[in-house]
Amino acid sequence: MPAPPVSSHGSGNWRAAFTAPREQAWREPGPGSPAGTEELRQTIIQLEQRNIELAQALEDRQAELDAARATNRDLTRVLNRRG
């Protein structure tokens, strides 16, 4: 995006012209509106809950894997004693 023309007067107007649309967009329905903010909060809560569920599932799988490895080591020892 090219820079706006530099002028000895009106630099304050350029700043206002630049920030006004951004502020208006923030006030309008969307991410900055109360409804948008609440929707984002709900999404965050859902994602945090999903993260907890996935972490628990991973922990469960890790416990199963550890148990399977222990069983495998025990069976390997038994087989090695026979051999």
Residue 63 lies in a domain: yes
Residue 3 lies in a domain: no
Q: Taking the C-alpha atoms of 45, 46, 49 and 55 in order, what is their torsion angle to the nearest 10 degrees?
A: -120
Residue 44 lies in a domain: yes
Residues 6+ apart with CB under 8 A from 61: none
pLDDT, one tens digit per residue, over 36-77 is: 889 999 999 999 999 999 999 999 999 999 999 999 999 999
pLDDT at 9 over 60: no
pLDDT, one tens digit per residue, over 14-34 is: 677 767 776 776 666 655 667
Residue 4 lies in a domain: no
Q: DSSP secondary-structure letter at 30? A: S
Query: What range defines the domain where residue 60 resides?
Result: 14-82
Residues 6+ apart with CB under 8 A from 32: 25, 26
Residue 54 lies in a domain: yes
